[in-house]
Amino acid sequence: MSDRDQFLKQVDKLAASNVLHGSESLRKLLQYLAKHSADHHGVPLKEYQIATEVFGRPANFDPQTDSTIRVQAGRLRAKIAEYYSSEGADDPILIELPKGSYLLSFHHRDATNGRKPSAASTEPIESPETVSRRSWIAAIAILALVLAALVIWDVARTRKQVQASATEFADVTPFNLRVFWSPFLSQQDDSWVIFSNAAFVGRPETGMRYFNSGRDAHKDIWDHYTGVGEVLAVHSLDQVFATFHKQLRVKRGSLFSLDDADNNNLIFLGSPSENLTLTEIPSTREFVFQRVPSGPRAGDLAIVNQHPQPGEPTSSLASPSGASLTEDYAVIGLAPGINPSRSVLILAGTTTFGTQAAVEYVCRANSLDELLARLGAKNPGDVKPFEALLRVKIARGVPVETQLVAVHKK
């Protein structure tokens, strides 16, 4: 078998490994890079080429403003290292993706690496001094082992104490918080928080505004800003998940990928107008964010009730943009993910303060009582997909009162 065939066979083995199980995009990237390296040895690859040919990005893809390919390459590099430290520890062929490059390299593992000398080899006769020195080394090694055992015992004892404290702490977590958040606690993997970071153009020192695709160049986009409400919302969520002894992983919306949606529970912060990744996954269907098409509020963002029940508003708007912001509206939406075993929670206001209020609403035990009662949820596992509309009173940029306006079960 030629070297080329051996290398491609090793790629197939890596692609089929447990390490890359469930990550279709990384498998596609690996196989694309492998074929290019085998067929066009030494010819460099461009991010644009990978983006359009592997990930289906449009022709106007700009690697200066979209870091998707760099992020995916970093993930693949980490997965390759993980494979060779576990399943592939004894594989005869090594695959590497050097940093700063999109060209795979292949190497034959050193055949003598890790082998002991043959039993037929001749060993030198040791002098008394060597034997004495070896005895001292053995004594030091034994002492080190004893110390290591003591350290391990102390760590185990400390861990048991921490676990006991954690169990005691969990017992005082409000029950209704455990009921509401149960869809995000049943999985071993950490949940992802995806916060909005709208596209801006301009400079902070000269003035910034929202990106307009009709008149602005993509290369001028700034996509690393978010709202005050989103920042405080992440903090509130982190505090709640800490009571469950769960960690959150945080990512800005522009770096979100469909692999994240397929493999993780997701919590989205911000409306689709700013958190554009919401347009790529199952989103709200009962309370929909839409721009007002005409009239004095034309262009303002509203929440439209698609199936209004008696007494419910058909459309909800925050305070006019030219007036002090004293009122906002927000949506809480729970839906199954692209992978039905995962859950998606959307917490979004028409402004950043509405988003903050929606998160605080689901992070506070006293405000959840009414919502859980409307959902008929009394125990963990009872919370099924739903959408709820909130009215938020705001004073000096702070949500001060939140009212549950409507609840629609799916």
- What is the C-alpha separation between 290 and 357, in angstroms, rounded? 20
Q: Which residues contact 326 (CB under 8 A, 6 or more apart)?
A: 319, 393, 394, 395
pLDDT of 290 higher than 80: yes
Backbone φ and ψ for 167, nearest 5 degrees, come out as: -65, -45
Residue 391, beta-bridge partner list: 329, 403
Find the range with the poorest average confidence among 57-71, 293-307, 331-345, 387-401. Answer: 57-71
Angle at 344 between CA 340 and CA 348, to 5 degrees: 155
pLDDT for 25 equals 85
Q: Which pLDDT does position 282 carry in this prediction?
A: 53
For the cut 70, the answer to whether the pLDDT of residue 113 exceeds it is no
Least confident of 156-160, 286-290, 375-379: 156-160
Euclidean distance between CA atoms 181 and 303, whole angstroms: 25
- Least confident interval from 161-170, 247-256, 378-387: 161-170
Q: In terms of Cα–Cα distance, which of 6, 69, 8 is closest to 37? A: 8
CB-based contact 186:163 (threshold 8 Å):
no
Q: How far apart are CA 382 and CA 377, in angstroms?
A: 5
- Of the candidates 326, 368, 331, 327, the residue with the CA atom closest to the CA atom of residue 348: 331
Percent of all residues in the chain with a pLDDT value above 70, rounded to a whole number: 79
Res. 44: pLDDT tops 60: yes
Pairing of strands 327-336, 343-349: antiparallel
DSSP-derived pairing of the beta strands 287-291 and 105-108: unpaired
Q: Is pLDDT of 198 > 90?
A: no
Over residues 342-367, mean pLDDT: 92
Report the candidate in 266, 293, 292 with the shortest Cα–Cα distance to residue 280.
266
The token pair that represents 348 in the structure block = 């979004």
| 387 phi and psi angles, rounded to 5 deg | -135, 140
Least confident of 116-130, 268-282, 312-326: 116-130
Indicate whether 260 pLDDT > 70: no
Tell me the pLDDT band of 286, cut-offs 50, 70 and 90. very high
Phi, psi for 137 (deg, rounded to 5): -60, -40
Task: Please give the Cα distance from 57 to 59 (Å, whole number).
Answer: 7
| pLDDT of res. 395 | 92
- Global confidence as pTM: 0.57
Higher pLDDT, 48 or 150: 48
pLDDT at residue 252, as a whole number: 81
Q: How long, in residues, is the chain? A: 410
User: Can you tell me the distance from the alpha carbon of 245 to that of 164, in angstroms, rounded to the nearest whole number?
Assistant: 12
pLDDT tens for 317-350 read 999 977 889 999 999 999 988 788 889 999 999 9
Amino acid 254: pLDDT: 74
Spatial distance between the Cα atoms of 55 and 49, rounded to a whole number of angstroms: 10
Residue 184 in tokens:
């995000």
The larger pLDDT score, comparing residue 375 to residue 196, is at 375
Q: What share of the chain is helix, strand, coil (3-state, %, to 5)?
A: 40, 20, 40
What per-residue confidence (pLDDT) applies to 145?
57
**315-317 and 301-305 strand pairing:** antiparallel
Q: Give pLDDT tens digits for 57-100.
A: 888 878 877 788 888 888 899 899 989 988 888 898 999 998 88
What is the domain partition of the chain in residue ranges?
A: 3-108, 133-172, 177-409
Q: Please count the other Cβ atoms lying within 10 Å of the Cβ belonging to residue 169.
A: 13
Q: Give 218's pLDDT tier (boundaries 50, 70, 90).
A: low
Q: What whole-number distance in Å separates Cα of residue 226 and Cα of residue 224?
A: 7
Q: What are phi and psi of 147, to 5 degrees?
A: -65, -40
> Which has the closest alpha carbon to 370: 402, 336, 327, 324?
402
Q: How confident is the model at residue 181 (pLDDT cuts 50, 70, 90)?
A: very high
| Tokens representing residue 136 in the block | 């001292």
Closest CA to 328 of 230, 226, 408, 402: 402
Tell me what percent of the residues of the chain surpass a pLDDT of 90. Answer: 32
pLDDT at 267 over 90: yes
